[in-house]
A and B are shown apart, each in its own frame.
Chain A
Amino acid sequence: AQSVTQLDSHVSVSEGTPVLLRCNYSSSYSPSLFWYVQHPNKGLQLLLKYTSAATLVKGINGFEAEFKKSETSFHLTKPSAHMSDAAEYFCVVTRFSGGYNKLIFGAGTRLAVHP
């Protein structure tokens, strides 16, 4: 069965320093993976998605993620954090069930950015 584990529930960085949000997945077939961001009291917005094309995926707002099959990881990175990046981030894997693709969410990582 497909599942996803976000290794850190909270990450705190200083503005201008790199961001690393870790995600490991479990999938019995080649997965599709997503990162979504949720700002306080807002809905979810897609940051980026991996669908078996390039293993390094670039998203919005300077974020990128690298799919590593050997490590079953899909970590999210950004070279330099901005205050506006403070939000909750969800790693998501698809599961094919009942003839349809469904999204399986990780528990989320809350990113705090300090001045």
Chain B
Amino acid sequence: NAGVTQTPKFQVLKTGQSMTLQCAQDMNHNSMYWYRQDPGMGLRLIYYSASEGTTDKGEVPNGYNVSRLNKREFSLRLESAAPSQTSVYFCASRDLLSSGVNEQFFGPGTRLTVL
């Protein structure tokens, strides 16, 4: 199993450009998440998808959109990139069981720089 994969690994954009970050998981997990990581702030949730066909806003959704394409894939789109969106983006997935709390599994991250 590859786990959680993300593409691209690095990206540089100019202000106003758009792009889509791709995420896929092969663990048959129901829930998927997008986070951004900024120095001294830990990880903050941008959007999540509890199950195929549903998406919800997290703590910092402004400037982003998401698509849960199928159970495996969850993409994050920046319609008009801004320098404040320079960050490292992590995708994660989790197996939503009826009981217990399961950890999230993280991808390797995408380092995005907006000039």
Question: A residues touching B (Cβ–Cβ < 8 Å)?
Answer: 9, 32, 34, 36, 41-46, 49, 51, 90, 94, 98-103, 105-108
Contact = CB atoms under 8 A, between A and B. Distances in A.
B88 to A, nearest CB: 9
B101 A43 contact: no
Interface size, B (range): 20 to 34
Q: Which of A46, A99, A103, A106 has the most CB of B within 10 A?
A: A103
B90 interface: yes
B87 to A, nearest CB: 14
A103 B104 contact: yes
B100 A51 contact: yes
Interface of B: 4, 31, 33, 40-45, 48, 50, 56, 58, 90, 92, 96, 100-101, 103-109
A58 to B, nearest CB: 15
Contacts of B105: 46
A67 to B, nearest CB: 14
B109 A102 contact: no
B56 to A, nearest CB: 6
A21 B105 CA distance: 22
